[in-house]
Structure 1
Amino acid sequence: MTTALPTKRIVSRHHLELWLESDAHRQVQHFVDHLNSATVGVKLSDDIHVGANVQAILDVLDDVKQIYHDTPPVDNGKSRFGNPAFRTFYDKVAQRSQELHRRIPNLDERYVAELGVYFCESWGNRTRVDYGSGMELNFLCWLLCLEKLGVTDEKDRTALVIKVFWQYMQIARLLQTGYWLEPAGSHGAQGLDDYHFAVFIFGSAQLKTHKHLRPKCIHDDEILEEFSKDYMYLAYIRYINSIKTASLRWHSPMLDDISGVKTWDKVNSGMLKMYHAEVLGKLPVAQHFYFGSLLPFPVDADADSEAASAEDPDVHVDEHGHLHVRGEAQFEDCCGIKVPAIFAASQEAHQKGVAAGGGALRPLGGLAAAGGGSGAVRRIPFD
């Protein structure tokens, strides 16, 4: 197989339709489903078998974490937006990408550069200094490509979620808090959270078989404290509560609504449906997907896709190079709009003596009482 540096190819509804019918789309969708299945009933504290190759991946992530610690934020004045030190961090990761990949056993040298694109983009966007569900997707694609190359296999999938993905989540949080990364869209990760989505998929899978805990338990601080060490869903809810003002109902209304679902099984199936529809299937998100030789862009057999979509009346490109789709109101301000990081807002509130829960700050998911309301993002039924 001839390798190719991954590039963005989706720039219209026509391209999106090709993507949704492609083998690459099916592979990504099935990989997420398989990771989900491999996580059912497994605790973060369980003794999970970690093979040599998976351990090598964890070691690579440890190096990325060290790069962060070696690259402190710079004095950014009074700006509440992304810290420019993130670009230095990104460049360091990119410079070391080949070296880091060569440490992974059984990795075909020819694919190091191709993998490096997914790997580097997993940490955030260098130009915009932001982070969103598209970056999280890049990390999952990186893991998928490693499996396609035989570095890991289906026996490693539990460890890939419980150990590797959770380690990635912890590093991503460091970057978000330390560099004040901006949410990649003003509605956050499809209304769930400013940054992440997959953590709620895998986290609800962990809880599917729990005999006592129900989705409404996310409102019990004692349960969150006791069980957050075992379940990433609860750990992340606790984390969100620690950095947001006001109640969950205001800063994360969709998560609050989902807590009313009776079983974790329904939450998990709903999360998967929502992910496939709102992340993999939406043009404003899919436009950031990278295609190379391992995940190729489909060939349009009927006509040249660029020519066929050049005059798409429903799509326009803004000055930031982002696509906007007419008729999809929930995404009309999806990207290209600077949204200050919640960490900057929280610090500013603290400095001004704003009491926690006072509601003086507008939560950054775009769904607060200040104009948004809980209906600003189209819901996916969880039943």
Structure 2
Amino acid sequence: MAETEKQAGASPEDDGPLLPASFTFTVPRKEISMVSDMGKWKRSQAYADYIGFILTLNEGVKGKKLTCDYPVSETVEKLMSLLGTLDRWIDETPPVDQPSRFGNKAYRTWYSKLEQEAETLVSAVLPEELGAAAPEVALYLKEAVGNSTRIDYGTGHEAAFAAFLCCLCKVGALRVEDQLAIIFKVFDRYLRVMRKLQKTYRMEPAGSQGVWGLDDFQFLPFIWGSSQLIGPEELPPSLTLVPTLLQKNKYRHVIRVLVWYRFS
């Protein structure tokens, strides 16, 4: 992550100034190029912030069903609109005829729209006083939808979307009261748009672990979905293979969306 994100301002729970007056944003650059770089990453404040973000959401969704009440802020609504735009662009960019079965080149046309509009889309989500953050935050959005050269998508891209949401929390655009909406609305919508991308453009799984992987494309739904299953009701692992029971119990993330796409 960018150095500026490591020096994050106030946490979402704070009521004080979000960022110091002298704070400047920087477009992120790649810092992990080899295995030896991983140690530096794991010792960084950015890593602690990122893992803390995931675990905080995991705790917030523990035992919660889709039918539970939660607030939906203006920022969440704006994120839903952003994802709706990405979805609409898929409809406007149909696959092209090509001899190769996988990796439809129309995806590159779709991605080029995002490259051109990412900062504008992010600026529309951020409060006006945080507009300077758009170039930095927008890079994580662009990294969250797949690779336009290889036409693939994997858990690293999903991780970039989590980093995108984490950035919005770090600058204060998303608040602590948005936790459930981040998962039940924003991440769910993101997951559906990514599945539509994968199916429409026949995207290859990036870094798939085959039989050792829970899913070729996603990982976070299994973390947050398992937390949803914590509670007084006994729901065995075999339940994940019965879509009708998942629908009845109103659980989603391991669970209804991923299983739905496997069985539909």
TM-score (norm 1): 0.60
Distance in 1 (CA, whole Å) between partners of 2:109 and 2:144 is 15
2:148 counterpart residue number: 126
Does the Cα contact within 8 Å between 1:124 and 1:131 map onto a contact in 2?
yes
1:103 counterpart residue number: 124
2:162 counterpart residue number: 140
- Of all paired residues, the percent bearing the same amino acid is 34
Does the Cα contact within 8 Å between 1:83 and 1:181 map onto a contact in 2?
yes
1:230–1:220: structure 2 CA closer, same or farther, 3 Å change rule? Answer: closer
Distance in 1 (CA, whole Å) between partners of 2:117 and 2:241 is 42
Distance in 1 (CA, whole Å) between partners of 2:58 and 2:230 is 11
Distance in 1 (CA, whole Å) between partners of 2:72 and 2:197 is 26
Cα deviation, 1:281-306, whole Å, max 9, x if unaligned, reads xxxxxxxxxxxxxxxxxxxxxxxxxx
Distance in 2 (CA, whole Å) between partners of 1:83 and 1:204 is 34
- Count of residue pairs the alignment pairs up: 241
Q: 1:101 aligns to what SS in structure 2? A: helix
Distance in 1 (CA, whole Å) between partners of 2:101 and 2:235 is 38
Bigger helix fraction: 2
Distance in 2 (CA, whole Å) between partners of 1:95 and 1:66 is 16
Pair 1:150 & 2:175 matched: no
Equivalent in 14, 35, 49 of residue 57 of structure 2: 35
The one-letter amino acid of 2:219's match is: F
Does the Cα contact within 8 Å between 2:71 and 2:177 map onto a contact in 1?
no
Q: Where in structure 2 are the equivalents of 1:246-265 lying within 5 Å?
A: none
Equivalent in 203, 212, 217 of residue 234 of structure 2: 212
Pair 1:82 & 2:89 matched: no
Pair 1:24 & 2:46 matched: yes
Task: Indicate the structure (1 or 2) with the bigger Cα radius of gyration.
Answer: 1
Distance in 2 (CA, whole Å) between partners of 1:57 and 1:221 is 28
Q: 1:160 aligns to what SS in structure 2? A: helix
1:23–1:69: structure 2 CA closer, same or farther, 3 Å change rule? Answer: same
1:2 counterpart residue number: 24
1:155–1:222: structure 2 CA closer, same or farther, 3 Å change rule? Answer: closer
The one-letter amino acid of 2:64's match is: V
Distance in 2 (CA, whole Å) between partners of 1:186 and 1:52 is 36
Q: 1:195 aligns to what SS in structure 2? A: coil
The one-letter amino acid of 1:183's match is: P
Distance in 1 (CA, whole Å) between partners of 2:246 and 2:181 is 23
Runs (5+) with no aligned partner, structure 2:
1-22
Q: Where in structure 2 are the equivalents of 1:51-70 lying within 5 Å?
A: 51-70=73-92
Spell out structure 1 runs of 4+ moving beyond 4 A: none
Pick which of 169-178 and 47-56 moved more: 47-56
Distance in 1 (CA, whole Å) between partners of 2:243 and 2:169 is 38
Deviation at residue 87 of structure 1 after TM alignment: 0.7
Does the Cα contact within 8 Å between 2:208 and 2:217 map onto a contact in 1?
no
Distance in 2 (CA, whole Å) between partners of 1:111 and 1:149 is 8
1:230 counterpart residue number: 251
TM-score (norm 2): 0.85
